[in-house]
Structure 1
Amino acid sequence: MNQIFHPTPAMCTFAKWAFTTRRVTRTDVRGFSTHYSAAKAGDLILCEIAEIGHHKKIQLAERRVSTSYPGDHVVLCLGDRYAPDQFLASAVIDDDLIDLVAGGGVAGRVDAAHLRMDDPTRLRPLGLLTGPRGQVMNVADYSLPALPANEYVTVIGVFGASMNSGKTTAASSLAHGLGRAGYVVAGVKATGTGAFGDFNSFEDGGAPALDFTDVGMATTFRMPLERIEAGFDTLVATAAERGAQVVVVEIADGVFQQETRAILTSSRIRDRLDGILFAAPDALSALGGEKVLNMMNLGSFAISGMVSCSPLAAAEAAEVTGLPILSREDLWSPETIATHVAPLMRLPQEDVAA
């Protein structure tokens, strides 16, 4: 690969740093490496935007959106992506141009795309960032301190049938309702692709948030299950250390996605859940999702998501699953929390705020 010029650390000072890099100490940058064949997921890379495609904006570390222009310098993370509605991508640099595979700040090579997707925004890699010891900087270098699993806080998992099934709204609404019911609650996004939408949604609902970028993963796709489990343990334990009585944990994508299936089949995460709220886009997905959970000796206490937006679809889902269908407004209600969630709690009732 040919470099037109040699980048300097000063260029990073004026670059746009993406959300996935939000924990990185920017003053650690000392230089650059173009040893791209050794690059791995999570490595930090300075790129120049060459061509604007699908992603026309970058989500910044400051949790705002920035419009992209050709020639912009951006600091991103190399990463894999799994998104049936968008891109399948790999954390590799094997050409003079690579792809922006997620607006939260993930770069790599698009291997497949949904037919309705525009071509990806193209990036010219200028160099992998290197730190004070000459090492390539990786988001894992800036993780929260690892903590063992916390066995006392209540953990409610939110799973879904697919992308865009309403998981984020269900999770943040549940967290909001728990707060209104008097519980000290936190939100955790345990898997997925780094972006601030889920993070902000929890905090908009009054729940302080953490996600997998806090434990050193720009994305969790193709990460070993053991690393995802360790990240989950640290995120839940950190939330508990900060005072949470209940942690609402959103798991990305659908039940058949690689790491989601592994989590549900056999994992410390599965074993740690005190309850599951399932998000579905329609009645058939609600029934199918519940059957899949039942096959794994699991089950949900209620259905939410897009299906709850339609009275007719909600009635169908309630009939075929026998479960309550809870809209976001239902989940905001302390009465709903008392009926459907309080029985799952690990904490004694006297610890709940009046």
Structure 2
Amino acid sequence: MSISPSLDTDDLDAREVTDGRYTRVQIGAERAVKVRAAYTTRFVATEFTKRPEDFHMLAGSEVHPEAGDVVIARVTELGKHTRLESPTSRRQLLFVGQEIMVAYGNRYAPDQFLAHVPDSLEPCHLVAGGGLAGYVIETHASIGAATAIEPIGLLATREGVVNLRDFSPLQVGSPSLAAVAALGSRRPPVIAVLGTSMNSGKSTTLACLVNGLSNAGLTVAAGKATGTGAGNDPNLFIDAGAFPVCDFTDFGYPTTFKLAYEEVRNLLAAMIDEQAAFGADVVVIEIADGLYQGETSRLLRDPLFATYVDTVVFAAQDALGARAGLDLLHDAAVPVAAVSGLLTASPLAAAEASAWIDVPVIVTYDLCRPEVAAALIPVRAALL
């Protein structure tokens, strides 16, 4: 937990205390109950709801937020995101003037925003409905401006500024008891789902694959290792039949964009280790965005990826993307079991792809068939 600046007072019951550089504002139970928490902050929100008196806000010119820091902010103008995903994934309608609990983070979304964590508590934006605060640098031409928010203060306790990692149930570098107990055990086969870009059908492909493997009588663990925090995909994996399910927010990361690369690779390894520790027959992991995205591109060529991932199912938007993606994956010596995704919604596009690539093209929803899904399990680790 990061340490908040010390104030020259022990009066924790004061409504507001200022030492010239920092302002500590007590929240109070009446105000706390009105704060709308976001999905990314769900583990923090649980404790905040139980004991709001243990928390305060830290503001002032010397406050410099970092990725993962939790902030209470006021909605000042509605834009792209008119709803905030709650800790239980309910879409809460936003109103101007409401106070929300979100986490600072960088966002990489080619079809929405490029955003970074600002250096101060300056006005910024809600850059993801899952609860991400950042300052927008670039916007896709097809969408409107981001919802504007005014940070009031970083959430803090006596120990310091609250970062999501302080309350996350899983920790990179500190495996759970189950993962420790499983050390040295044979890891189940791991299938990664990658794609050409955002909205290429990765999550739907993974869900259908999970469903097919589950229909084949296998226990399937699923996770999402990179991306921007939201509950849609983990809930989709649960609905498809996966257990356990986790994503990077369970490790305390609101987003993985701009994380130090060592953290990204360690996160991938930790996630697979945690998912494998519960006795799953197969682990399926989604890697967000496209093959050209920085962290994804590096992961593909990292020996750790080859150590942990047995094969890939590749989701593409069109035939050309399928061919180009396979060329990149083959160049990185990544084995590919099949191509699926958005292109398979079009029989013509699927036929085009089949004529130019050397792996099966499988209609996304055909992955729900047990014999189709089970056939994708790597032969050297086959279970059936």
Same fold (TM over 0.5): yes
**Measured at CA, do residues 122 and 226 of structure 1 come closer, stay the same or move farther in structure 2, by a change above 3 Å?**
same
1:101-130: CA deviation from partner (whole Å, max 9, x where unpaired): 111000010011111120110001110000
| Structure 1 position 138 matched with structure 2 position 179 | no
* Rounded Cα–Cα distance in structure 2 between residues aligned with 1:270 and 1:82: 25
Q: Which sits farther off after the overlay, 210-219 or 14-23?
A: 14-23
The one-letter code sitting in structure 2 at the alignment partner of 1:57 is R
Structure showing greater radius of gyration is 2
The one-letter code sitting in structure 1 at the alignment partner of 2:287 is I
Which residue, 67, 91, 109 being the options, matches 1:41?
A: 67
Task: Indicate the residue corresponding to 2:316 in structure 1.
Answer: 280
| Structure 1 position 155 matched with structure 2 position 190 | yes
Stretches of structure 2 that go unaligned for 5 or more consecutive residues are 1-20
The one-letter code sitting in structure 2 at the alignment partner of 1:84 is P
* Rounded Cα–Cα distance in structure 2 between residues aligned with 1:167 and 1:197: 13
Q: Secondary structure at the match of 1:183?
A: coil
Task: Give the superposition deviation at 1:93.
Answer: 4.8
| Structure 1 position 175 matched with structure 2 position 194 | no
Which residue, 26, 37, 42 being the options, matches 1:22?
A: 42
Task: Show the 5 A alignment for 1:82-231.
Answer: 82-94=108-120, 96-133=122-159, 135-143=160-168, 144-145=170-171, 146-147=174-175, 152-208=187-243, 209-231=245-267
Q: Percent identity?
A: 36
| Structure 1 position 295 matched with structure 2 position 335 | no
Q: Is the 8 A contact 1:3 1:126 kept in 2?
A: no
Task: Indicate the residue corresponding to 2:27 in structure 1.
Answer: 8
* Rounded Cα–Cα distance in structure 1 between residues aligned with 2:93 and 2:238: 24
Task: Indicate the residue corresponding to 1:345 in structure 2.
Answer: 381
1:179-218: CA deviation from partner (whole Å, max 9, x where unpaired): 1111110110000000111111101101132000011100
Aligned length: 347
Task: Indicate the residue corresponding to 1:31 in structure 2.
Answer: 56
Q: Is the 8 A contact 2:64 2:121 kept in 1?
A: no
1:242-273: CA deviation from partner (whole Å, max 9, x where unpaired): 23221110000000001111111215234310
Q: Secondary structure at the match of 2:290?
A: coil
Task: Give the superposition deviation at 1:151.
Answer: 5.0
Q: Is the 8 A contact 1:45 1:128 kept in 2?
A: yes
**Measured at CA, do residues 6 and 200 of structure 1 come closer, stay the same or move farther in structure 2, by a change above 3 Å?**
same
Task: Give the superposition deviation at 1:38.
Answer: 2.4
Q: Secondary structure at the match of 2:218?
A: coil
* Rounded Cα–Cα distance in structure 2 between residues aligned with 1:193 and 1:268: 22
The one-letter code sitting in structure 2 at the alignment partner of 1:174 is L
The one-letter code sitting in structure 1 at the alignment partner of 2:294 is Q
The one-letter code sitting in structure 2 at the alignment partner of 1:271 is T
Q: Secondary structure at the match of 2:242?
A: coil
* Rounded Cα–Cα distance in structure 1 between residues aligned with 2:374 and 2:125: 47
Task: Indicate the residue corresponding to 1:304 in structure 2.
Answer: 340
Task: Give the superposition deviation at 1:132.
Answer: 3.3
* Rounded Cα–Cα distance in structure 2 between residues aligned with 1:226 and 1:301: 27
* Rounded Cα–Cα distance in structure 2 between residues aligned with 1:270 and 1:119: 41
* Rounded Cα–Cα distance in structure 1 between residues aligned with 2:375 and 2:55: 56
The one-letter code sitting in structure 2 at the alignment partner of 1:67 is L
Q: Secondary structure at the match of 1:341?
A: coil
Q: Secondary structure at the match of 1:250?
A: strand
* Rounded Cα–Cα distance in structure 2 between residues aligned with 1:297 and 1:112: 34
Stretches of structure 1 that go unaligned for 5 or more consecutive residues are 350-354
Q: Is the 8 A contact 1:7 1:126 kept in 2?
A: no
Q: Secondary structure at the match of 1:301?
A: strand
Task: Indicate the residue corresponding to 2:13 in structure 1.
Answer: none
TM-score calculated relative to the size of structure 1:
0.92
* Rounded Cα–Cα distance in structure 1 between residues aligned with 2:137 and 2:250: 27
The one-letter code sitting in structure 2 at the alignment partner of 1:13 is V
TM-score calculated relative to the size of structure 2:
0.85
* Rounded Cα–Cα distance in structure 2 between residues aligned with 1:289 and 1:267: 19
Runs in 1 of length 4+ with deviation above 6 angstroms? Answer: 2-5
Task: Indicate the residue corresponding to 2:294 in structure 1.
Answer: 258
* Structure 1 vs Structure 2 CA RMSD: 2.3
